[in-house]
Amino acid sequence: MSPTVKYTQIFINNEWHNSVSGKTFPTINPANNEKLADIQEADQADVDKAVAAAQKAFELGSEWRTMDASQRGRLLSKLADLIERDRQVLLELEVADVGKPVSEAEFDIDGVIGTLRYYAGWADKVHGKTIPADGQQFAFTRLEPIGVCGQIIPWNYPLVMLSWKWGPALATGNTVVLKPAEQTPLSALYTASLAKEAGFPPGVINVVPGYGHTAGAALARHPNVDKIAFTGRQCCCAGTRTFVHESIYDQFAKKSAELAQKRKVGDPMSADTEQGPIIDETQTKKVMDLIESGKKEGAVLQTGGTRVGTKGWFVAPTVFSNVTDNMQIAREEIFGPVQQLLKYKDMDEVIRRCNDTRYGLGSGILTNNLQKALQFAQGVKAGSVWVNCYDTASVQTPFGGYKMSGHGRELGEDGIHEYTEVKAVTIKMPVKNS
């Protein structure tokens, strides 16, 4: 059953608007290919209106700029409360629009609420330092908001990515123009309505659904946008490139295939579903093409490698063994249920091979040897290292990557500093008379 879609327009200045062009685009349920709604399609003209509203809200003397920092925190807390109140509505929108299993969506919404409450607590704790500068002078720093922040988020975690962007940006006093992914705009639009209900002043939060090459590009190149925050699709730290020691490799490959075959694929609204659909036809084709490349390049297909069903974009859990570092499936981010098993002999070798990639977002090691764990953590070039766990995130811990996996960090105190400018103030002190 499809959820009721209440909000399909562009959100600017606490009001709902049709697109200037009159264009709309469909958002599709990837589990059954059925249209959920037609969404107003923002482009340059709509982005201009949203940025202008955000600029006005950021002007000196505006309600937002003169608001106590503690009040900003209370607004974020109120937004978290409203999300908690309407979690079932958001849950149904997220499952239908993204296709992720309901258990994962429930976990996501808990994280969203926690993230907004965490940054609500930071709002009145963002401050500078006094500095013992040389000479007869008194120096201190101020941490000030950057201004209008353009924020572009992916289709895989719409609500989570919204909270990671809005939390620190709003806690520090910025205004935002958010472009959700064209595949998954519904939960962001609904949350915009909750932001208005929470009491955020007009223009502080704006949401412009549309395509990347139009709305996203217009936002990224806009001369009056002071900062762009962009997150690409994920799960980009999925542990699909798995190095297994040669002593247990064959046994591990067999067990991996057995577990993959037992994995429940199907209706994301079913409580026992472990894997939902791929987001759309384009991504499904990419996943299937990469699976074919693995076969052609000599990897051994242990299980999977096929589409599942005739409706929706489902791909069977897939495991490849005998994978070598030069194969395309070992070097590309697949964004599908495809695991590559690679064999290694010792720790120095596996660290070197792990680092032989353009990417460096997430990494992990399973071991009871503390020395090996620390050796890996020090040697691997990745923004996150998980020991005896994987993809364990908390709002208090910074998240981000090395190399081509991005710049900057989100979450934790580090996330706050991505949305502030440091201003140094130096005051000449009078010289004492003798």
Q: Are residues 208 and 262 in the same domain?
A: no
Confidence at 1, pLDDT banded by 50, 70, 90: low
Cα 3 from Cα 88, distance rounded (Å): 10
Reported as type and span, the H/E element at residue 404 is: none
- What 3-state DSSP class applies to 366? coil
Q: Are residues 163 and 200 in the same domain?
A: yes
Q: Are residues 218 and 115 in the same domain?
A: yes
Q: Is the pLDDT score of 324 beyond 80?
A: yes
Cβ count near 307 (within 10 Å)? 14
* DSSP string for 131-181: E--SSSEEEEEEEEE--EEEEE--SSSHHHHHHHHHHHHHHTT-EEEEE--
Q: Are residues 212 and 76 in the same domain?
A: yes
Tell me which residue range forms the domain holding 128.
10-231+410-421
pLDDT tens per residue across span 261-287: 999 999 999 999 999 999 999 999 999
Count of domains for the chain? 2
Confidence at 234, pLDDT banded by 50, 70, 90: confident
Secondary structure tally for the chain: helices H, strands E: 14, 19
Contact assessment for residue 88 and residue 103, using Cβ atoms and an 8 Å cutoff:
no
Structure tokens at 168: 């620190």
Confidence at 406, pLDDT banded by 50, 70, 90: very high
Structure tokens at 415: 């996330």
Strands 318-321 and 338-344: parallel
Domain membership flag for residue 263: yes
Q: Are residues 162 and 262 in the same domain?
A: no
Domain membership flag for residue 427: no
Strands of 15-17's sheet, edge to edge? Answer: 15-17, 10-12, 205-207, 175-179, 148-152, 227-230
Contact assessment for residue 157 and residue 108, using Cβ atoms and an 8 Å cutoff:
yes
Percent of the chain predicted with pLDDT > 70: 99
Structure tokens at 299: 């990897």
Contacts within 8 Å (CB) and 24+ apart, 193-197: 193/6, 193/7, 193/11, 194/79, 194/82, 194/83, 194/86, 195/79, 196/14, 197/82
Q: Are residues 153 and 20 in the same domain?
A: yes
Reported as type and span, the H/E element at residue 339 is: strand 338-344
Q: Are residues 370 and 417 in the same domain?
A: no
Predicted confidence at residue 304, as pLDDT, reads 98
Domain membership flag for residue 344: yes
Cβ count near 135 (within 10 Å)? 8
Put simply, whether the predicted model's pTM sits higher than 0.85 gets the answer: yes
Inter-CA distances, 310 with 36, 367, 388, Å: 19, 42, 38
Contacts of 338 (CB under 8 A, 6+ apart): 240, 287, 290, 291, 294, 304, 315, 318, 319, 320, 329
Average pLDDT of the residues in 423-432: 92
CATH at residue 325? 3.40.309.10
Return the minimum-mean-pLDDT range out of 117-121, 122-126, 242-246, 333-337: 333-337
Q: Is the pLDDT score of 431 beyond 90?
A: no
Q: Report DSSP state, residue 214.
A: I
Predicted confidence at residue 415, as pLDDT, reads 98
CATH at residue 139? 3.40.605.10
Domain membership flag for residue 426: no
Q: Are residues 159 and 290 in the same domain?
A: no
Confidence at 233, pLDDT banded by 50, 70, 90: low
Average confidence score pLDDT of the chain? 96
Cα 216 from Cα 208, distance rounded (Å): 9
Q: Are residues 129 and 225 in the same domain?
A: yes
pLDDT tens per residue across span 340-394: 999 999 999 999 999 999 999 999 999 999 999 999 999 999 999 999 999 998 9
pLDDT tens per residue across span 58-81: 999 999 999 999 999 999 999 999
Domain membership flag for residue 434: no
Q: Are residues 78 and 104 in the same domain?
A: yes
Predicted confidence at residue 180, as pLDDT, reads 98
Q: Are residues 322 and 347 in the same domain?
A: yes
Q: Is the pLDDT score of 434 beyond 60?
A: no
Predicted confidence at residue 236, as pLDDT, reads 80
Cβ count near 84 (within 10 Å)? 15
pLDDT tens per residue across span 149-181: 999 999 999 999 999 999 999 999 999 999 999
Could you give phi then psi for residue 272, rounded to 5 degrees? -90, 0
Domain membership flag for residue 80: yes
Predicted confidence at residue 351, as pLDDT, reads 98
Cα 9 from Cα 17, distance rounded (Å): 6
